[in-house]
Amino acid sequence: MTERRHYPWPRAAFWYGWLLVLLLAGCAAAPTEVESERHREAGLAIQAVYEAALPELSMAKQRHYAQRLYRITGEPRYREIAHEHGRRLVQQLRDDIEGLADPDYAAVRSRQIVESYPQRTAKQRARRAMLAEWGEIPFARQLLFRLAQADYYGLLGTSAIAHHERALDYLAGVAWEHFLTDADVMGIYAAQVANQVYFLHQLGIADLREQVVASFRRQYPGGSAAWLDEAEYHNKLYGMTHFVIASSRYYQRWVDPQDYVWILESFAEDIDRILASATEDIQAEVALSFLLAGQEEHPAVGRIRDSLVAAIDPQSGIIPSTAGSADLARGEHRNVLAIMVLRWPGRLYPGPDLSLMGL
């Protein structure tokens, strides 16, 4: 593991202190204005820490962070990271497309992916064991993700990725419905199931949305939260949030709230348990589901924003893990989602389009 660098905690502390000033100044503005500004400044405080540390993070973490911040701000500075990610993505897809000429390529790559799968947590170990039972699925899902990312960047159908149809043809032959509606897969992998069913639809490979949603709702019927243990409950919540987020093409377009009434109503009814027992990652994704549906004024959003602000550690300037770790790399997912929720500007930016950048 890379040794942690010295990050600008004083700057973070300044921002956090400024939040307290805003709170004390509440009598000078309407309550709703004070709350909105308090949330926004909290998001900017977390962002200040991550912006300074961003060059020290892995490309995967930089991509995850920059892609999301670009899509809610449109700020050009995030395009540089997208360009570097796009360059690597193009090479990876070229290798995969060329590799598919070998009938054994997918099976070999699947074994390599399973062998290198992280095993730090119980959830990771369970997912690794599950993927090992599904033949070429580990490679197929990685290829699907890469193609979806390339599509987001406007790179499919360009000279940068020649013969991408070979990859689409391969994926069209994969038994996706069997995998994505399997109860054991859904039980530990619901968020990725939601992602993959929307990627398949996005790329014109298959439309399994109705079947997968029906399978999910059979596994987690209304009222099921009462008898789910913590891991199952979190998996259910993650799955529901990702039906919304993946449908938005990951924060590139709004979703119709009528399409997700069953999800948003469930979140609203269960908001007390969500705030009491769900991680900040999940809380943020629940709020983002409302935000992507244009429901920023929903009471659940305000309550989650308050919860995220309260979770900020004044010493590190970020939201630590449930175990108290302020490791910036491991906390990137949680904190970038919190930034998005807290400083949500109400506009979405697709892409960025890299098709004319000479990749």
Whether residue 297 is predicted with pLDDT greater than 70 in this model: the reply is yes
Whether residue 222 is predicted with pLDDT greater than 90 in this model: the reply is no
342: tokens are 């807290």
pLDDT reported for residue 37: 93
**Cα–Cα separations (whole angstroms), residue 312 to 127, 178, 324, 331, 355:** 30, 42, 11, 12, 39
- pLDDT grade, residue 6 (50/70/90)? very low
User: Across all residues in the chain, what is the average pLDDT?
Assistant: 91
Whether residue 230 is predicted with pLDDT greater than 70 in this model: the reply is yes
pLDDT reported for residue 223: 78
Task: Please compute the mean of the pLDDT values over residues 251-270 and round it to a whole number.
Answer: 97
Task: Please compute the mean of the pLDDT values over residues 232-252 and round it to a whole number.
Answer: 97
Task: Please compute the mean of the pLDDT values over residues 43-48 and round it to a whole number.
Answer: 97
Q: How far apart are CA 224 and CA 112, in angstroms?
A: 37
Long-range contacts from 173-178, C-beta under 8 angstroms, 24+ separation: 174/136, 174/137, 174/140, 176/200, 176/205, 176/206, 176/208, 177/206, 177/208, 177/211
The three-class DSSP label of residue 139 is helix
Say if CB 239 and CB 193 are below 8 A apart.
Answer: yes
pLDDT reported for residue 33: 80
pLDDT reported for residue 247: 98
Q: How far apart are CA 79 and CA 67, in angstroms?
A: 8
Say if CB 241 and CB 191 are below 8 A apart.
Answer: yes
Task: Please compute the mean of the pLDDT values over residues 239-261 and round it to a whole number.
Answer: 98
87: tokens are 């360059």
- pLDDT grade, residue 24 (50/70/90)? very low
Task: Please compute the mean of the pLDDT values over residues 28-41 and round it to a whole number.
Answer: 74
